[in-house]
Structure 1
Amino acid sequence: MRNSTTRLYAVDGLRLVCALAVAGYHYGVSWRLDGVHPPAYFLPYASHVLIFGFLGVEVFFLISGFVIGMSGWGRSLRQFAVARAARLYPAFWVCVPITAVVVNLLPVRTGVVETAPPSPAHVAVNLTMLAEPLGVPLVDGVYWTLWVELRFYLLFAVLVWWGATYRRVAAAATAWLTASLFAPVLPGWVAQILIPEFAPYFVAGLVLFLMRKHRPTTWLWALLIACWLISLQRVTDRVASLQPGFSVPSWPALVIITAAFVVLTAIALGATDRLNLRRLAVAGALTYPFYLLHPRVGYSLMRAAHHATGAPASVLVPVTIAVVLGASWLVHRYVERPFAPLLRSVLSGRRSSKVVPSPTEPRADTSPR
């Protein structure tokens, strides 16, 4: 059995790679820089690679299953809920208004999915993180993944309440994966709970956590392989749904998702335990605010810069990523670091510690969100 509470710096690095991949997909493929021409017009070669950045979301969910098992194991239901709220809400409460302000000052009305600047009422509802189930327009389209995450947290919270043990988690993971296969014939509300499109990733992450905390067994290996095989079909379906204006082969996506399974399996089994690059913890800490800020804020900045300077996409994309990373560091340093412990203390009903940990200090929670 390996230490399941040691910070895994490789996971931090993998999280940032996923966030950058998603940003590459959004900036290079999923919108039109000038509002008219398709992505391939501005990035004729890069767009054929950046298109596969959408898989960053799938890998995020794979990581999430792994680290939520790590961070939730041995906690009470209240401790688990408080930890998740303190992790998610401080940055979210700042990034949502920032996005709303930027898109109102620099609106992008063509070439994107979301064109209308959010109203104050929509912003207020979005701050609850429940805008999607309430039917309120999202301030930024990427928030859909947070609703997926919240449903996973609710499912895992049931295990925490019941008492998470090896047998219970393994049985629940098996039942969840099996039930997700029958989602098309189940009532809609059941499918909403089961998250069938992404269940294989969350389940695989939980299985890898069990392998790390206890030991690999034949059943766990079989369950992991089943998750991988189902994920190949899910990814194939996702590729088929893409409409970037050019042909997208499925085989690179299958290779990428397979590589993600292999890499996280290696991490879970201890291949990177001796990796002690604490700067990767900072990189991992930037992932969540970067993910929240990058789409609509990035679109607004790039469209304004393109109109003002005529700079090409090959320049605007990396510069915008650098700018948003800088803003993400500010959110992490001046919002998450001081206010996450404060919120945790308030929700726990205890006084906040005066010592704010360095972003490079090891932590058990390496959540991708």
Structure 2
Amino acid sequence: MMQSAFNIQDLDGVYWTLWVELRFYILLGLLLALGLVKNKHIMWLCALWPAIGLYLHFTQLDKVQDWFAGQYAALFAAGMMMYLIYQNGHTLLRWLLLILDTAIAAFFTGIKGRFDAGYLSGLDVPAWHFQVLAVVCVAILAVCTLTPLKHIQTRWMAVAGSLTFPLYLFHQLWGWWIIEELHGVMNKYVLLFGLVVFMLGWAYLVARFVERPVGLPLRNATITTLNVTSEWVKKAMSRPPLSIPEPKYQQSWHQTR
């Protein structure tokens, strides 16, 4: 029997999830505004951010960790490294960073997964189960994007890809609430299958009627804003060249000897 873990009236978890996402986009916005978007800058970010997250975890600086989002940094970094490899090719350093980020992501996923399982269901699921899942997810993504499989193009795959982000945003917290409300009156397998179908349908509606009409204008407005901000930052940080006044007097003959 599930514990009463999630109350839809208590939106702290919803706000926290959105805040984690927002911090990532704020960070990328700052990097774009400062012009720190070259490959070397992204690689430094993918190395330092997860490493600092580990440091804050082992030093138990929980308040700083919460604001720094260090426990989620490796997940974001692994995705960025995957894109760099996809876009610019394979190098040993990029792969080492991807492996490092994946390992750190698995470590934190194991901690959070075990806690969530115990909190929501009362079951003690070993952390390594969640760690294996994290590694498998990254491996599947790598196979789909960095091997000849990336050339396979079908319409259903494009539709499935469009569902990933809205499904990611909505499935967890709303899924907890639906399970909490219905687990006592519905067969668990029927509930699980029905919930998966419902979430996929909801993600499709969001992708079709929100992301498709709003996505491109929002993207263009964001790019314009970032370009304007970048130019403003460059002007604010630039200094006028040092002006050396012309001498008022000519040097005399003995001064020039």
Question: What TM-score, normalized by structure 1, do the two folds share?
Answer: 0.50
Question: Is residue 124 of structure 2 the alignment partner of residue 232 of structure 1?
Answer: no
SS at 1:273 equivalent: helix
The match for 1:277 is: 154
- Please give the residue correspondences for 1:339-350 in structure 2 after superposition, counting only pairs within 5 Å: 339-344=214-219
Deviation track 1:209-262 (CA, whole Å, cap 9, x = no partner) reads 222222222222222222233233223322442313333133332322222222
The match for 2:44 is: 171
How far apart are the structure 2 equivalents of 1:339 and 1:252? 39
> Once the 2 structures are TM-superposed, how far is the Cα of residue 197 of structure 1 from its aligned partner?
0.7
How far apart are the structure 1 equivalents of 2:100 and 2:77? 10
Question: Is residue 113 of structure 2 the alignment partner of residue 221 of structure 1?
Answer: no
Deviation track 1:131-189 (CA, whole Å, cap 9, x = no partner) reads xxxxxx44xx3453322121111222222223211122212322223322322449766
CA contact (8 A) 1:177 1:200 kept: yes
Letter in 2 for 1:251: W
How far apart are the structure 2 equivalents of 1:257 and 1:247? 18
The match for 2:234 is: none
The match for 2:253 is: none
SS at 2:122 equivalent: coil
The match for 2:188 is: 313
RMSD between aligned residues: 3.3
The match for 1:9 is: none
- Which residue, out of 6, 14, 18, partners 1:146? 18
SS at 1:182 equivalent: helix
Unaligned residue ranges in structure 2 (runs of 5+): 225-257
Question: Is residue 25 of structure 2 the alignment partner of residue 115 of structure 1?
Answer: no
The match for 2:125 is: 248
Change (3 A) 1:214 1:300: closer
Change (3 A) 1:339 1:258: closer
Question: Is residue 76 of structure 2 the alignment partner of residue 202 of structure 1?
Answer: yes
> Once the 2 structures are TM-superposed, how far is the Cα of residue 293 of structure 1 from its aligned partner?
4.7
> Once the 2 structures are TM-superposed, how far is the Cα of residue 322 of structure 1 from its aligned partner?
2.2
CA contact (8 A) 2:82 2:142 kept: yes
How far apart are the structure 1 equivalents of 2:173 and 2:51? 37
The match for 2:206 is: 331
> Once the 2 structures are TM-superposed, how far is the Cα of residue 299 of structure 1 from its aligned partner?
6.4
The match for 2:137 is: 260
Letter in 2 for 1:115: N
The match for 2:29 is: 157
CA contact (8 A) 2:50 2:101 kept: yes
How far apart are the structure 1 equivalents of 2:216 and 2:136? 35
Change (3 A) 1:212 1:325: closer
> Once the 2 structures are TM-superposed, how far is the Cα of residue 302 of structure 1 from its aligned partner?
6.5
Letter in 1 for 2:92: T
Unaligned residue ranges in structure 1 (runs of 5+): 1-36, 39-110, 119-136, 350-369
Change (3 A) 1:169 1:341: closer
CA contact (8 A) 1:212 1:269 kept: yes
Letter in 1 for 2:214: F
CA contact (8 A) 1:142 1:292 kept: no
Change (3 A) 1:344 1:250: closer
> Once the 2 structures are TM-superposed, how far is the Cα of residue 276 of structure 1 from its aligned partner?
0.5
Q: Report % sequence identity.
A: 29
The match for 2:55 is: 182
How far apart are the structure 2 equivalents of 1:226 and 1:301? 36
CA contact (8 A) 1:159 1:169 kept: no
> Once the 2 structures are TM-superposed, how far is the Cα of residue 193 of structure 1 from its aligned partner?
4.6
Larger relative contact order (CA 8 Å, sep ≥ 6): 1
Comparing 264-273 with 254-263, greater Cα deviation is found at 264-273
Judging by fraction of residues, say which structure has more helix: 2
Letter in 1 for 2:42: V
Rg larger in structure: 2
SS at 1:257 equivalent: helix
Letter in 2 for 1:158: L
Letter in 2 for 1:273: K
